[in-house]
């Protein structure tokens, strides 16, 4: 695909090129960052329950390891392809460098439909994939984690298979594992919690009092519901939330604890008696201080960006704001916490998990949360300073911070002349 707006790999390349040009570093930096250092495509044979053999296509991309071993998720999805995996590994490089984690970016996946696989077939697929890439991953080389349609159980099968190959328990290979085999406390809520921490730091920089601020949350899944809950606990007024069935609005604020209990019972927000029904589109355009799009991509576009009234947009989802909308919001003075930071709480606590595995010392959830807040706040400060220095969006500032740090690492390691 030649259209950079449609191909994530080309979009990622363009973002790196722009950062290199703004920073004024040599183009050799872009030449090193425009593609993965290593990319693997593997055949993954799986014996189906009926005895037939299915062969799936798997990938692993290791974009840049100047700052440390590569790190990134594994997704099982029919649409997984080479360009998507490469782009995702490049974005992970930015995310890790921005958070000042000692990692480069990695990503992997298998093109498959988990809905047609039995639990036994899914386990075989997980084990065969890890066997196929076992020579190119490791706790000090490349550390996978859960992503789309993968979970802690799949990570457990994978780390067990790798440990069998190595002949020793190697829990530090993978993060996002069950607690009983080295998972980290606080990992489940890390993405939503990190989103709130980063946004609160930006609000402070802009002179917005977080406690008492009006908040709307689009998407009441793992990220959005956690963000709403933590905002409520911190004294913000959550006036609107939504899920796939539509939204709820209450001018005086919603009791998020009551709403969570309602959703656990009814599996939907629909019918909640203490708020009025609104559409997802109406939620996006409410007059609030903070808007969290934490559902799907491409929710704020050139068509509706002019009507966004929030002062801060904190991206919990991947790509909820289109590039055109990003420019419109910037011109309006709306500050966007880009997804590369907004949903980086997951990889940050994954880093904590890896550290705990390597040191055999485990932290309480309170300690994990305190460390997460420190990392998210420092990343926001660095990004905001770059934004002020160059007068660019926070999204572009994130790339500037990341590329500057990666360039320094590559220079001192002798990769650049």
Residues annotated catalytic, as ranges = 107
Query: Among 395, 398, 393, which residue's Cα sits nearest to residue 331?
Result: 393
Record the tokens describing residue 310, joined without a space: 């929030």
Report how far residue 14's alpha carbon sits from residue 257's, in angstroms, rounded to the nearest whole number: 43
CA neighbours closer than 13 Å in the CB half-sphere of residue 324: 10
CA angle 50, 52, 53 (to 5 degrees): 140
Give burial (CB, 10 Å; 0-12/13-18/19+) of 350. Answer: buried
277 vs 344: CA distance, rounded Å: 31
Bridge partners (DSSP) of residue 38 are 62
CB-count exposure of residue 84 (10 Å: 0-12, 13-18, 19+):
buried
229 alpha-carbon distance from chain centroid = 19
- DSSP class per residue in 115-149: GGS-HHHHHHHHHHHHHHTGGG-BTTTEEEEE-TT
Would you mind telling me the total number of residues written for the chain in this entry?
417
Write out the two tokens for 403: 């590329």
């Amino acid at each position: 695909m030649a259209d950079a707006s449609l191909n994530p790999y080309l979009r990622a390349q363009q973002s790196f090129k722009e950062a290199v040009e703004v920073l004024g570093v040599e183009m050799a930096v872009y030449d090193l960052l425009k593609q993965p250092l290593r990319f693997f495509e593997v055949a993954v044979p799986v014996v189906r329950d009926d005895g037939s053999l299915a062969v799936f296509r798997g990938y692993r991309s290791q974009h840049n390891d100047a700052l440390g071993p590569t790190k990134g998720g594994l997704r099982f999805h029919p649409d997984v392809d080479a360009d998507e995996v490469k782009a995702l590994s490049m974005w992970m490089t930015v995310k890790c460098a921005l958070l000042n984690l000692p990692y480069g970016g990695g990503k992997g996946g298998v093109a498959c439909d988990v809905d047609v696989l039995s639990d036994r077939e899914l386990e075989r697929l997980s084990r065969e994939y890890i066997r196929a890439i076992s020579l190119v991953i490791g706790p000090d080389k490349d550390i996978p984690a859960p992503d789309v349609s993968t979970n802690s159980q799949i990570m457990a099968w994978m780390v067990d298979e790798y440990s069998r190959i190595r002949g020793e328990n190697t829990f530090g290979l993978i993060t996002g594992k069950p607690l009983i085999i080295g998972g980290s406390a606080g990992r489940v809520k890390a993405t939503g919690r990190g989103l709130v921490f980063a946004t609160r730091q930006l609000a402070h920089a802009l002179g917005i009092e977080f406690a008492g601020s009006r908040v709307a949350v689009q998407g009441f899944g793992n990220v959005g519901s956690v963000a709403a809950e933590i905002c409520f606990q911190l004294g913000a007024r959550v006036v609107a939330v939504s899920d796939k069935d539509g939204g709820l609005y209450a001018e005086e604020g919603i009791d998020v604890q009551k709403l969570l209990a309602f959703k656990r019972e009814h599996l939907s927000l629909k019918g909640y008696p203490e708020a009025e029904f609104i559409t997802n589109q109406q939620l996006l355009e409410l007059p609030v201080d903070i808007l969290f799009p934490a559902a799907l991509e491409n929710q704020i576009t050139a068509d509706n960006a002019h009507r966004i009234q929030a002062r801060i947009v904190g991206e919990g989802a991947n790509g909820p704001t289109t590039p055109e909308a990003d420019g419109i919001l910037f011109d309006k003075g709306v500050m966007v916490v880009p997804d590369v930071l907004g949903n980086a709480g997951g990889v940050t606590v994954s880093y904590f998990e890896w550290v705990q595995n390597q040191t055999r010392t485990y932290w309480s959830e309170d300690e994990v949360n305190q460390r997460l807040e420190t990392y998210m706040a420092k990343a926001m400060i660095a990004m905001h300073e770059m934004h002020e220095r160059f007068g660019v969006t926070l999204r572009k500032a994130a790339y500037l911070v990341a590329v500057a740090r990666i360039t320094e690492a590559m220079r001192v390691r002798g990769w650049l002349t």
